[in-house]
């Protein structure tokens, strides 16, 4: 399993940056976030029972959806889905109820690692190396370290999870229109020739 000390938990601005996809979904731009393979995972809080939303990168293989936990078994979302495996996934406009399970089969783990790294090996190889405490990662070294990754599979289910999706709020459109109008008026006032 991943040593949580290898990758420190984000603080300050890094933490805010990781929340940007959630704000995008709330602003009605979920399709844009989904094009970058970012979904919203909704779990049930293990103590509160309330819906908890987290943006997370995913890969799809057939009907199955996979994620890699960058901090092993320590994140709250991971602990929540272990307590309540029925979750809700938002992939752009699509909502899927699913059952979460931890992947333990080495062949499946390798398939998932290859799904992630094949899109951008120059990004994922250093990231996977750091997560596995290795100097570098290549397709040949992945089998040697595959047991160090925490991977979760989501299998779609017909029953509803009862979890609410991230609500979409278009109020930002009015704010953006007002700001754009004010900026346009300011620019026009600055470039308009003055009469003498």
Could you give the number of structural domains in the chain? 1
What is the reported pLDDT for 63?
95
The length of the chain is 196
Count of CB atoms situated within 10 Å of the CB of 181: 10
Does 20 fall in a domain?
Answer: yes
Does 191 fall in a domain?
Answer: no
In 3D, which of 38, 163, 20 has the Cα closest to residue 96?
163
* pTM for the model: 0.80
Supply φ then ψ for residue 123, to 5 degrees.
-95, -45
What is the reported pLDDT for 138?
86
Q: Give me the CATH number covering residue 42.
A: 2.30.110.10
Residues 33, 55: Cα–Cα separation, whole Å:
9
What is the reported pLDDT for 51?
93
Does 122 fall in a domain?
Answer: yes
Name residues of the chain where pLDDT drops below 50: 1-5
What is the reported pLDDT for 92?
93
Does 187 fall in a domain?
Answer: no
Does 156 fall in a domain?
Answer: yes
SS (H, E, C) 101-164: EECCCHHHHHHHHHHHHHHCHHHHHHHHHHHHCCCCCCCCCHHHHHHHCEEEEEEECCCCCCCC
The two three-digit tokens of residue 123, written as one number: 């990004």
Residues 127, 117: Cα–Cα separation, whole Å:
10
Does 182 fall in a domain?
Answer: no
- Portion of the chain with pLDDT greater than 70, in percent: 92
What is the reported pLDDT for 194?
67
Angle subtended at Cα 187 by Cα 181 and Cα 189, rounded to the nearest 5 degrees: 100
Domain containing residue 94: 12-166
What is the reported pLDDT for 132?
84
pLDDT in tens, 5-36: 456 666 677 777 788 898 889 888 899 999 99
Does 17 fall in a domain?
Answer: yes
What is the reported pLDDT for 5?
47
Does 140 fall in a domain?
Answer: yes
What is the reported pLDDT for 162?
81
């Amino acid at each position: 399993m991943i040593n949580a000390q290898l990758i420190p938990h984000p603080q300050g601005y890094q933490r805010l940056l990781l929340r940007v996809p959630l704000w995008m979904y709330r602003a009605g731009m979920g399709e844009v976030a989904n094009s970058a393979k970012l979904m919203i995972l909704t779990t049930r809080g293990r103590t509160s029972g309330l819906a908890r939303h987290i943006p997370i990168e995913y890969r799809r293989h057939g009907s199955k959806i996979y994620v890699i936990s960058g901090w092993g078994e320590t994140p709250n979302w991971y602990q929540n889905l272990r307590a309540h495996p029925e979750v809700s996934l938002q992939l752009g406009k699509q909502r899927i109820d699913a059952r979460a399970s931890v992947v333990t089969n080495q062949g499946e783990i390798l398939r998932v690692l290859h799904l992630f790294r094949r899109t951008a090996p120059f990004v994922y190889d250093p990231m996977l190396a750091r997560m596995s405490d290795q100097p570098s990662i290549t397709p040949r070294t992945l089998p040697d370290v595959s047991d160090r990754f925490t991977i979760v599979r989501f299998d779609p289910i017909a029953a509803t999870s009862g979890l609410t999706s991230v609500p979409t709020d278009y109020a930002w459109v009015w704010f953006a229109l007002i700001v754009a109008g004010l900026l346009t008026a300011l620019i026009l006032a600055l470039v308009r020739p003055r009469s003498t």
